[in-house]
Chain A
């Protein structure tokens, strides 16, 4: 996939979860402009157009980040913190898609300014419902400020 006009950045180290998530979004036709990265470092490179994504334009999105918390190299909470701490990225909605329901993760994520926190259900029917609904919401219903817009 080319890195132009990305809608969803999926940060997920587990390929099976990534595939299931993509399939759930495909069912609603929401996965056409999705980029999948496997760890926190890649996620940050993509978002800040550095490293292997050095040539990318930051204005090209994503519209929403779906972020797992337990990631190799740089973990999810740190990725979240970096996104929300930077002027250029802090308005990008971040949805944590966690496997855990641990209170401390929920609290930590909200403290860092997460836009939504979802724990992935084991039941695939529920899972695909949740994922497709959040895709619909953030891509079609929600109205974000234009990227790079001044306040």
Chain B
């Protein structure tokens, strides 16, 4: 049934402060052939109602200046307007809305976001058989959400309201059931995906395994035979020939390191974690001991303040300290009095550990790049390395649910932080 067939000429007044909501509603109604008037709050709505005498008012509840309830009450108290049906739009999140609506004299509720079909059928019904406000009001106490509320309304109005709430609830229930069905389907798809992912992870693992084996074999051959030429045919080679072969050997070694690093990186991503309470203080000191030869030879000043224990995988966290400490030691090698400082602090729910050095530092503009795979901020000639250490640190810390960051200044030093949930 359309507006023409009901012979309806009076407009529908839409009172809604959200311009988007109002426009959506207006378009829907215009599509159905209804003339529409818009108002942005209750006061404007009331003025528009007096001017246009709408056949129906559809109103939002929460609005500035004058809310939906208040406007509804004003409509019912106005002799010329009192028989205009009012539909209130609600989120159905607050049960007391119903009580307020009843007391304000509203006829129906439609929940937001509204179901277009339901709203249209409701409008058609209201316009064909407008509820009459002739009955005497009754007073009753209603228990809503554990609180008693006093209600004063017409019996028909109470019935209409509760039926419309019920219908809306049924509608929402149907939508929820549909959504649940979709979710179940999605869950099954997700399971399939997880299975596929597991498969491709296995593929990746065997790929990494092949890489570790197959790429090393030819590299060893290149290095081996270059070395044998250098040794056995030394007298037949001039300096330049020897240099060329040494370049070949240098590069095979570099490639060997790259392969090892790629493997180490991929391993940190797939190896299982066994969580325990890790004594970070003992762990850091143990890792420091491994660097003792460098520390003694270069007379590096190391300062370590007591570090709190953390939850994590011992072997992985050891790797974090190894990588960060070896960086600190590497990048301070140009300093005559190198210092490395280990410490920690608590920040909210996080335990933050840091390593501060006074080494080569870095330009903060590139701090984002520091933790990327094979990202280097220094030339290979300056400091050797493939640029995988910090990427591994980041990966490990992320797998622990933590985060990493760094601060630094060129030639002034760097501080690397990692935070673990604790």
Interface positions of A (Cβ within 8 A of B): 14, 16-17, 20, 23, 70, 99-102, 120-125, 127-128
Out of A70, A99, A127, name the residue touching B224 (CB < 8 Å): A127
Out of B221, B226, B227, B259, name the residue touching A17 (CB < 8 Å): B221
Specify the chain B residue showing the minimal Cβ separation from A16: B221
Out of A70, A100, A122, name the residue touching B219 (CB < 8 Å): A122
B281 within 8 A of A: no
A134 nearest CB across to chain B (Å): 16
Specify the chain A residue showing the minimal Cβ separation from B216: A99
B209 within 8 A of A: yes
- Give the docked Cα–Cα distance between A53 and B12 (Å): 101
A125 engages B212 (CB within 8 Å) = no
Find chain B residues with CB under 8 A from A14 CB. Answer: 217
Sample of 17 more A-B contacts, CB < 8 Å, known A101-B212, A124-B224? A14-B217, A16-B220, A17-B217, A17-B220, A20-B221, A20-B224, A70-B213, A99-B216, A99-B217, A100-B213, A101-B260, A101-B263, A122-B252, A123-B252, A124-B223, A124-B226, A128-B227
Size category of the B interface is: 20 to 34
**15 interchain pairs, CB-CB under 8 A:** A16-B221, A17-B221, A20-B220, A20-B224, A23-B224, A99-B213, A99-B216, A99-B217, A101-B263, A121-B256, A122-B223, A122-B252, A123-B253, A124-B227, A124-B249
- Give the docked Cα–Cα distance between A10 and B242 (Å): 32
With most chain A CB atoms within 10 A of its CB, the pick from B220, B227, B256 is: B220
Interface positions of B (Cβ within 8 A of A): 209, 212-214, 216-221, 223-228, 249, 252-253, 255-256, 259-260, 263
A96 nearest CB across to chain B (Å): 13
Find chain A residues with CB under 8 A from B209 CB. Answer: 100, 102
Find chain A residues with CB under 8 A from B227 CB. Answer: 124-125, 128
Specify the chain B residue showing the minimal Cβ separation from A122: B256
Specify the chain A residue showing the minimal Cβ separation from B214: A99
Specify the chain B residue showing the minimal Cβ separation from A98: B213
- Give the docked Cα–Cα distance between A99 and B213 (Å): 5
Top 3 closest A-B pairs, CB basis?
A122-B256, A124-B224, A16-B221
A122 engages B220 (CB within 8 Å) = yes
Find chain A residues with CB under 8 A from B260 CB. Answer: 101
Known: A122-B219, A123-B223, A123-B256. A23 touches B228 (CB 8 A): yes
A123 nearest CB across to chain B (Å): 6
